Structure 1
Amino acid sequence: MSDTHAQTVAFVRESMVPPADPPLGETGIFKWVRENLFSSWLNVLLSVLSIAFVVWALAHLLPWFLQSVWDAGSLTECREIRDARYGEGAASACFAVITERWNQLLFGFYPPEHYWRPVLAFVLFLVAVSPVLFQGLPRRLLAFTAIYPFIGYWLLWGGTIWGPLLVIAGFVIGWGAFRLAEPRLGTLAAAIAAILLPLAWWFFAVGPIAGDLAQIAPIGLVRIGSGDFGGFMLAFIIGVAGIALSFPLGILLALGRQSHLFIINKSCVGFIEIIRGVPLIVWLFTASLLLNYFLPPGTNFDLMLRVIIMVTLFAAAYMAEVIRGGLAALPRGQYEAADALGLDYWKAMRLIILPQALKISIPGIVNTFIGLFKDTTLVVFIGLLDPIGLSNAIRASTEWNGIYWELFVFIGLLFWICCFSMSRYSMYLERKLETGHR
């Protein structure tokens, strides 16, 4: 090759080609549609069928919602308004039943003049759980979290204020007994004293003392029996109580099932397998009918309290298996690391093992919570008027006989809001605790 030719051929770029936009089919919505909806002939077929179904469903549902009637005194009046506005037989929802009976669906037969009490109890509940769910809040709020169950009970059921205060005093007695007895008698004897003394106080002293104090200083709210509870408030109380109580009990059962002590291990295994092997509805019937046969004659054991106990035990059995899965998924090296640090069993569990096991178990735990909350609708079969039970009572009235979907849409929306909130919080918690290890 000659020198002249070598000098005229450029091997090094002296100017850049101006950038060009990517093809239209490789950006934005066009790329997403091509990759997710029409990437193959099967996806094309499924996408077309799905879009056709959505269009068909919206064509039937949107007129039903958009042409709904919100102000009427009965189903007959609702249909008359529909015929006058949209024509005879037009698709129209009669949400007037929600407008008229929303308070009954939410509060049951709770006296209307006392609605402020469950509303205040709900607001205080949100304040009480906030420091547990979110780390950025002041830790001082945990003191309010600890006493909220007694405040919530007093607001909802009413009665003298001395009863809840004396119950709190029982916990103080147990704590004081443990602190005084541990240096002299040892941890086991101190723990037994811390359990027996509060039980004796609650069973034998709280009632008489509360009655005497109520005579001297009658401070309290109007007493409202459990028979007046109903609607979504009833489902919320049973669900929240079951969730709050079953979680620590499930942790203890999971640890007990992994214990090397024969009696503790077999007792926990037997409890978990018996509870999980029987449907919840059977346990609810047990709480409603059979439990009274084992109580002393004349004992008035509140049905709502019996249901809360049974729901708690049922959820705790499932919670124990979820947490046991988290404990089993933890590498053996974590247990060995705790031993190498010289930690005893409880410190190892509290500081190293349980935090990691609970993190692994978050999806299963929240799934159990959501299932428990939805299962509260089963109490309708034992005579408690939850939202489903009240919807049946409303549909049986002469004014609203024949209405159906509107009530269940409203009830389903309430349950969806609560369950979706729990699901989103679990996702937030998983992202917050993500350490980057897979």
Structure 2
Amino acid sequence: MIVNDQKLPDLPPPASTTGVVGWLRTNLFSTPFYTLLTLVTLYVLYVTLVPAIQWAFIDADWLGDSRDACTSGGACWVFITARLDQFLYGFYPESEHWRVNTLYLMLVILIGALVWEKTPKKGWIAAFTLIIFPVIAYFLLVGGSFGLEHVETHKWGGLMLTLVLACVGIVASLPFGILLALGRRSHMPVVKSFCTVFIEVWRGVPLITVLFMASVMLPLFVSAEIEFDKLLRALIGITLFQSAYMAEVIRGGLQAIPKGQYEAADALGLSYWKKMGLIILPQALKIMIPGIVNTFIALFKDTSLVLIIGLFDLLAIVQAALADPKWLGYSVEGYVFVAFAFWVFCFGMSRYSQHLERKLHTGHGAR
């Protein structure tokens, strides 16, 4: 009898379990039921997607300046290209579009610098984005100084107005939400009661009602000498409304921090604000990334409600263009364009939040 004490090389796995074939067998055709479900799904996709692709791309018309250019029977994207300036800038004077374009470019550069991991001096860039950039944006958009023509806010609209409402609401609601969440967990009865009432009242009222109240009743609570712009009223209403939702998200993150972290901070003799700023909040904010971004996405989509008080955001400006007799019958193209624009921004926020979650996934503190 011959005994072989040599270790034989491992045999390669069967071809049916690796590669594309293996993935298909494991994920789509592993059982008869999954096979049937996969085939039904593929049929439904074929029935729905093929005509949609045919309409949106293959048979679509892209170039032109009137509906006469739409002759193929597919999507008439000429409606979008012909009115793209209005969708991007609203009724902003055409000669001043360079000011909005400058802000678009600055915003893209700043966000790109913050997202790219190898960017040096990120802290300074973040400070510039949160403190200096809003000031530059105000003087560029409003004008009236530095030789710039003054542009009233009722001429703002389209994507520009949507981004203004979303960015201001996002940046302002986060710190207010943090303060409200800390106040609701405070041991001081007056502070806790005030924050609790504020949060519950604002969360219990629809945003449409808040916008109405901000537009109609806010001027009644200030001196007659103070004139509140309609856009400013909307920004105040959106910020207060969203900060109440943000406060509950942050309160959930604070409650998720183990009690041992609070006790460790107290043992070190840290003051309340140092304990929160250096130990508790950094851990809580990391846990709350999905909830915070979800609130930001909801805020971005809720900006379309400002149509109620006469502000023409992206959706409202497209609806106004659809009422033009020259473009009747192209509502599908208009709404698809709006949906795609909102999806791009919301999907971008979602993907970046997932990147932050993976980057900051360092575990939790000891209990």
Q: Which interval holds the TM-score relative to the shorter structure?
A: over 0.9
* CA contact 1:128–1:148 (8 Å) conserved in 2: no
Q: Which moved more, 1:127-136 or 1:98-107?
A: 127-136
- 1:25 corresponds to: 16
- 1:354 corresponds to: 281
1:414 counterpart (341, 346, 362) = 341
Check 1:143–1:49 CA distance in 2 against 1; reply closer, same or farther (3 A cut): closer
Once the two structures are TM-superposed, the CA of residue 296 in structure 1 deviates from its matched residue by 3.8
Q: Distance in 2 between matches of 1:45 and 1:14?
A: 49
Once the two structures are TM-superposed, the CA of residue 97 in structure 1 deviates from its matched residue by 0.7
* Length-normalised TM-score, structure 2: 0.93
- 2:143 corresponds to: 158
Once the two structures are TM-superposed, the CA of residue 18 in structure 1 deviates from its matched residue by 5.4
Deviations 1:367-422 (CA, angstroms, capped at 9, x unpaired): 00011001101111221111111112111112101111111121112111111111
What aligned pairs does 1:298-317 form with structure 2 within 5 A after superposition? 299-317=226-244
* CA contact 1:131–1:142 (8 Å) conserved in 2: no
Check 1:370–1:321 CA distance in 2 against 1; reply closer, same or farther (3 A cut): same
What aligned pairs does 1:20-419 form with structure 2 within 5 A after superposition? 20-65=11-56, 66-75=58-67, 77-79=68-70, 81-82=71-72, 90=73, 92-128=74-110, 136-138=119-121, 139-142=123-126, 144-145=128-129, 146-160=131-145, 219-297=146-224, 299-419=226-346
Secondary structure (helix, strand or coil) at the match of 1:58 reads helix
Check 1:356–1:19 CA distance in 2 against 1; reply closer, same or farther (3 A cut): closer
AA partner of residue 373 (structure 1): F
What's the C-alpha RMSD, in Å, of the aligned pairs? 1.9
Q: Distance in 2 between matches of 1:309 and 1:296?
A: 17
Once the two structures are TM-superposed, the CA of residue 19 in structure 1 deviates from its matched residue by 4.5
AA partner of residue 70 (structure 1): W
Check 1:127–1:343 CA distance in 2 against 1; reply closer, same or farther (3 A cut): farther
Percent of residue pairs bearing the same amino acid type:
47
Q: Which moved more, 1:383-392 or 1:354-363?
A: 383-392
Deviations 1:83-124 (CA, angstroms, capped at 9, x unpaired): xxxxxxx4x000001110001011100011111101112222
Q: Distance in 2 between matches of 1:436 and 1:266?
A: 34
Secondary structure (helix, strand or coil) at the match of 2:340 reads helix
Deviations 1:251-284 (CA, angstroms, capped at 9, x unpaired): 0000000000011000000000000001111101
Q: Distance in 1 between matches of 2:17 and 2:114?
A: 46
Secondary structure (helix, strand or coil) at the match of 2:217 reads helix
AA partner of residue 40 (structure 1): T
Once the two structures are TM-superposed, the CA of residue 365 in structure 1 deviates from its matched residue by 0.3
Q: Distance in 2 between matches of 1:71 and 1:47?
A: 39
Matched, 1:434 2:361: yes
Check 1:243–1:57 CA distance in 2 against 1; reply closer, same or farther (3 A cut): same
Q: Distance in 1 between matches of 2:65 and 2:134?
A: 39
Q: Distance in 2 between matches of 1:364 and 1:436?
A: 18
Deviations 1:289-320 (CA, angstroms, capped at 9, x unpaired): 23233344464310101101111111111111
Q: Distance in 2 between matches of 1:71 and 1:40?
A: 49
Moved over 6 A (4+): none
Q: Distance in 1 between matches of 2:230 and 2:244?
A: 22
AA partner of residue 141 (structure 1): I
Q: Which runs of 5+ in 2 are unaligned?
A: none
* CA contact 1:394–1:400 (8 Å) conserved in 2: yes
Secondary structure (helix, strand or coil) at the match of 2:325 reads coil
The structure having more radius of gyration, on CA atoms, is 1
* CA contact 1:380–1:389 (8 Å) conserved in 2: yes
Once the two structures are TM-superposed, the CA of residue 17 in structure 1 deviates from its matched residue by 4.4
Check 1:15–1:332 CA distance in 2 against 1; reply closer, same or farther (3 A cut): closer
- 1:213 corresponds to: none
Check 1:263–1:134 CA distance in 2 against 1; reply closer, same or farther (3 A cut): farther
Q: Which runs of 5+ in 1 are unaligned?
A: 1-8, 83-89, 161-218
Q: Which moved more, 1:252-261 or 1:400-409?
A: 400-409
Q: Which moved more, 1:325-334 or 1:393-402?
A: 393-402
Give the length in aligned residue pairs.
361
Check 1:360–1:140 CA distance in 2 against 1; reply closer, same or farther (3 A cut): closer
Q: Which moved more, 1:248-257 or 1:45-54?
A: 45-54
